[in-house]
Structure 1
Amino acid sequence: MPLIPFLLILTGITLFLSRRRYTAVGARVAPPRVVVKGNTFSEIAEKPQPKAVESRKTDNVRSACVIGAGPSGVLTALVLAGQNPHVQFHVVDSNERRIAAWNSDRVPIGEPGVEELLFKEDAVLVDSIKSHRKLQQTDQEALPGHFPPPPRPRKLLNVNFSTNILGGIAAADMVFLSVDIPAITSTEGQQHDLDLSNLDTAIRAIAQVSRGYKIVVQRGAAPCGTVPYIKKMLKETASPSASFDVLANPEFIFPGTMIHNLLYPPCVIIGHVFSEDSSPEALIALKRLYTSWIPEDRIVTMDAWSAELGKIATHALLAQQISAIHSLGLICKSTKADFNHVTRILGMTQPVGLGLGASTPMEVLCLENMAKEIGMQDVSEYWGRVLGMNGSQQVIQKS
């Protein structure tokens, strides 16, 4: 049959073509290797790559540390802790006497409202204290021994005081700097510069224990440019695994009304440095500590330089007013004018400067030195005279 030879020929042709295709595929040349820095791409992909340091930024503070157990730092912690019971506040200081005083049953400062904020008084405790006082008044020989008074219960359980500075910093998401910055006095008794050693020590402590992300808040009085100074020092001294956002949050408080100033501020100022590595999380986190009781429209953000200068100017203008009143008092003493009548005309119902003058020299000194550094000699001399008048004269009290 002619069909069978035709099928055999077709089968042979198919086998021949299949063999040629197999040979071509087998002889295909492998592509050249891609070499990167002496290694092929596959070798690089197989090697374990170092993980980038994760710097988890947070806008929710769970733990805060306040460095500096002076009135400003402690009262800031107490007010913020009272309004944010979910946040733990660690107040740390190297001064053991300060910490022991705040851990005692007596308030170490005479500021109105602190005792009510710190301690919880109830009827049972009051009766217990009265009973203890009666025992102290009885015959000591009849008592088997000394009975210490019962401890006063604390109202704020989310605040503690400690000398463990490094431990407080390590546990915190946010660190407030409220350290003392004293003036350096010359041999002639003139204040001519500021001692930043306490601030430097606090910054080095933050750099020493920080891993990951922390928010640092400059709270206390300091010269203009302190925020970028802190930022630069942390970058130079901290571990590569640490990252920071540094903010300014100046306090505007005055002796005698500190608690009221903190609870009912006309506004809250937050200053920050505009840079590529700054983040909105830090601003949000600090704002949240205040929005628990302060309307958000009263929380103002601005550049750090303006925030710092505004803080300094507030106290410097107060010092200026005190110096002006002192000079008027001296004029009244040398003339027939009555100082009480003069201050009444000015609308003053109480002596100006009582308790306030001590808080202003540092700010005035900042303005004096800053004006000198930028070449404004007349301005520097002006604030120097304000500082001299404020420091040399006694507060004139109404009789």
Structure 2
Amino acid sequence: MQRTMDDRYKDFQAKMAGNERAQRELQRVLDNSDKMPEQQSAAELLPVEEMEERLQYINVVEKHWHDNFAYLSQKPGEAYRSFNDAELSALLHMDTGYLCNELMQWTSIESLIQSILGIPATLKFFATKALSAEALQRISKKIPPLRPPSVSSASGDDDDEKEATEKRRSTKLDSSGKAQRNNYYAEKRRHLDGHRCVLTGTRDAQVCHIVPFAANATKDGMDRWHKVIQASMRLFLQERPGVDLYAEARLHSLFGFEQGVSDRHWNTISLTPTMHDWWGRGYFGLKYIGTNDANVQDPNAVVTLRIQFHWMPWRCRKLGQKPAPLGRTKEDILAAISTSCGQPSSWQGEPMVAMSRPETGFNLETGDVFGIHIPRRHMEKMVEAFRMQWALIKLLAMAGGAEVVADYPDDPEFLDENWELPGRKALRLAYIDIRAAVAEEE
């Protein structure tokens, strides 16, 4: 007797008993063949319970910016603009207690405004592909393709300090003073990742930077990245309790003192070309959640960072168009975020952002955890790089992705060359002059 489709389905269900993930994948197909893989919900990345209170604080900050615009920016009043989506997203992700404390005195509010105004340029620099041709010319040249990997050592551990130092010093500068890519560290990363994409397990993956190579390829890039770090420190407060007074110093020590340092194997992972591109567009983020064998004392022992994959919130927009600006109410903000990206119901539907894992056939979903290998002595460095990536990728997604960020200016719109509000600088210099005059009279 011929078996019916229901019989086959029951047999398949029996085989999949106890495999919750497989059952969920099958049920998704049966319920709705057009249903998208799980996306990051807005509630998971935005403090929805505090949204109304937070928006009240944001209104206070924005009103101070409006009322004092001419003094702070040293520009005519008609040049005023309200906070854009990148700046609003930064305020939405700040620790509520810290944000409230900043409103207690006007000097703190102005310091906060100064930091927030640096966020659009920060995100544009982070999503390097969004930089203008002129900015890329200033910061980093077109990077040549890496050579195929050579045969790795049997151990895969770091070389001794002497050889590692010699290899590190082999980083070359071109005639214009820009750092060239160091294939030695790329090969070490390929070996640590098993010559495969860490998310899909497929071969021929690209070695991708966590913090962009442009951050320290040139002296100009290093100076700019230091300003980026200063502008984005408050973003880390969401993930860490209290005010982390040393975060800026740690990040600057990692990425601000040596050209080409972003090329190190503790700042790279292997991804397929598609996932590499999507990462830079803010379609997904990688969140550090812990380390296996973190208490191992041997500095050469390889430990495993646990990284959690997250599809980022998708700003509602039609194919090829930018999303509408974010509103200023909780309802407006949540309505601007979709639970899916694309509608592939037919060949005429919008293309989707989704990826499957070949070894299982299951979709890559928010919450999936992967291991990234790194020698113990470099563990803290890689953790800091992932934390900065996670803080910035959330803002990039909430702002509408690299497509929106590309329209922002390369440098902060209302800040001077040192990323400082001209009005605050003028007031500080005037105060210094007054103090000097008083001292002379005494």
Assess same fold via TM > 0.5: no
Ranked by relative contact order (alpha carbons within 8 Å, sequence separation 6 or more), the top structure is: 2
State which structure, 1 or 2, has the greater radius of gyration over its C-alpha atoms. 1
